[in-house]
Amino acid sequence: MSDDNKDTAGRPAPRERVIGTPSPAREKALLAEDDISAPAGVGEQLDEASAKRAERIVATLFLVAFAASVAFIAYFIGWSGRDGGMHGVTRARESNLWLGGLMALSFLALAFGVTIWVRRLMTSKPIVQERHEMAADEETRAAFTEDFLEGAADSGITKRPLLRRTLLLAAAPLGLAPLVLLRDLGPLPEKRLRHTYWGEAVKKAQAEGKKGARLVVDGTNKPLRVSDFSSPGSMITVLPEGIEEEVPEDQVLTQNAKAVTILINVPADQFKPAKGRENWHVNGIVAYSKVCTHVGCPAALYEQTTHHILCPCHQSTFDATDAAKVIFGPAARSLPQLPLSVEDGYLIATSDYHEPIGPSFWERG
């Protein structure tokens, strides 16, 4: 090395970059002199015995993914629709568990299989890709074709038919699953939302010679007297008497969710009964469905000063003094009102709700 290429300390002077030469960044190196490539031949050979074991594991995972996808479709079509479909809290919980669990198992098995395939069955030789101008010329297309064919050969998808076939088998049901879901977005509610347990409770009470079904406090099941709820501005959640005892255990939560009602004592001078509902209240004590008509959240907040019922989910607001009409928010309909009366000092319901409770649905009309 000549003296012209040394600094004052006698060390080799850093090379200056000549115009037209590639920068270190273009070659993916921190310094132009760095050589971070692995030695030739490293990672290009596979232990065939280990590869065979990995191949069997991957094929098994693909078969698991296939079985889980088929089970998902079979459950959705055949089993979830039994006995009237996926109605009620218990049935919804069951369907969520099986459908969600089976689909998650299918995706996880497929993901683990592909991961093991890449890690154990593909060579790990260094791949260098220089940065070039983005142009789809003939040379680029030819290079892509060559790289694609080389990658296919390197992956073993042509060499290992067991993996290819099981991968296709695992992916096929996943492609069909969305078609199955689009075919049936869920069982139709039909007439299930047109009636609540209030109607059955009233019929049972009338069969026993009573005027209607007594209101009981949610949580204590204590029948509610008019005198117990005489303070204006009060609100309490009530249910029909006997719902806990008469309804089958697996249907209690579902029936409670539909029949749950809020009882509000509106000052008599501010209450404006709707036309045809003049006798549906008891001295300003009025009952509305607690199920919001927007998406079914519990409309459980009450502001005494304004007599507004608020749904905390999306802020739909209803006027308790005026048939629970919507005054703000996305709800499109008033809260259904329950006809009330008094018998032996107890508050009673004289019929079921006269309109479906909860959000709108196709068959509601």
pLDDT single digits (tens) 64-81: 999 999 999 888 877 766
Task: Tell me which H or E stretch contains 207.
Answer: helix 197-207
Closest Cα partner for 114 from 69, 55, 158, 47?
Answer: 55
Q: What stretches of the chain adopt beta strand conformation (E)?
A: 213-217, 235-240, 261-265, 285-289, 301-303, 308-310, 317-319, 325-328, 337-338, 340-343, 346-349
Mean pLDDT of 326-352: 93
pLDDT at 86: 57
Residues 6+ apart with CB under 8 A from 94: 86
pLDDT for residue 42: 46
Q: Is the pLDDT of residue 266 over 60?
A: yes
Q: Which amino acid is at 101?
A: G
**What pLDDT digit, counting tens, does each position of 96-140 carry?**
888 899 999 999 999 999 999 988 888 766 667 777 666 667 888
Query: Which CATH number applies to 197-349: 2.102.10.10, 2.60.120.10, 3.40.50.720, 2.120.10.30?
Result: 2.102.10.10
pLDDT in the model for residue 74 = 86
CA distance linking residue 208 with residue 188, whole number of Å:
35
Tell me what pLDDT residue 9 has: 53
Rounded Cα distance, 250 and 335, in Å: 27
Q: What is the pLDDT of residues 274-332, one digit of tens each?
A: 888 989 999 889 999 999 999 889 998 999 889 999 999 999 999 999 999 999 999 98
pLDDT value of position 242: 87
pTM (two decimals): 0.54
Q: What local confidence, expressed as pLDDT, does residue 84 receive?
A: 57
pLDDT above 60: residue 1: no
As given in the structure block, the two tokens for residue 253 are 């939560």
pLDDT at 208 over 80: yes
Give yes or no for residue 26 having a pLDDT over 50: no
Q: Do residues 84 and 189 lie in contact, with contact meaning Cβ atoms separated by under 8 Å?
A: no
Q: What percent of the chain has pLDDT over 90?
A: 36
Question: Quick check: 34 pLDDT over 50?
Answer: no
* C-alpha to C-alpha distance for 154 and 146, rounded to whole angstroms: 12
What is the chain's length?
Answer: 365
Q: Is 245 exposed, middle or buried (0-12, 13-18, 19+ CB in 10 A)?
A: exposed
Distance CA 120, CA 114 (A): 10
| Residue 215: how many other CB atoms lie within 10 Å | 28
The whole-angstrom separation of Cα 116 and Cα 71 is 24
Any idea which of 14-18, 145-149, 201-205, 250-254 has the lowest mean pLDDT? 14-18
Q: Taking Cα atoms as reference points, which of 234, 236, 206 lies closest to residue 224? A: 236
Whole-number Å distance between alpha carbons of 291 and 128: 62
- Whether residue 175 is predicted with pLDDT greater than 90 in this model: the reply is no
Question: For 241-263, what is each residue's pLDDT tens digit?
Answer: 988 888 888 788 888 888 999 99
Q: Which of 243, 208, 246 has its CA nearest to residue 343?
A: 208
At 361, the pLDDT band (50, 70, 90 cuts) reads low
Check residue 274 and give its pLDDT: 86
Residues 139-151 have pLDDT tens digits of 888 888 888 888 8
State yes or no: pLDDT of 27 exceeds 50: no
Kindly report, residue by residue over 276-286, the tens digit of the pLDDT: 898 999 988 99
Q: What is the pLDDT of residue 29?
A: 43
Cα–Cα distance, 352 to 337 (Å, whole number): 9
Of 44-53, 80-89, 93-102, 157-166, the one with minimum mean pLDDT is 80-89
Q: Is it the case that residue 30 has pLDDT exceeding 50?
A: no
Residue 299 region by backbone torsions, left for phi larger than 0, else alpha for psi between -120 and 50, else beta: beta
Query: Is the distance from CB of 214 to CB of 363 less than 8 angstroms?
Result: no
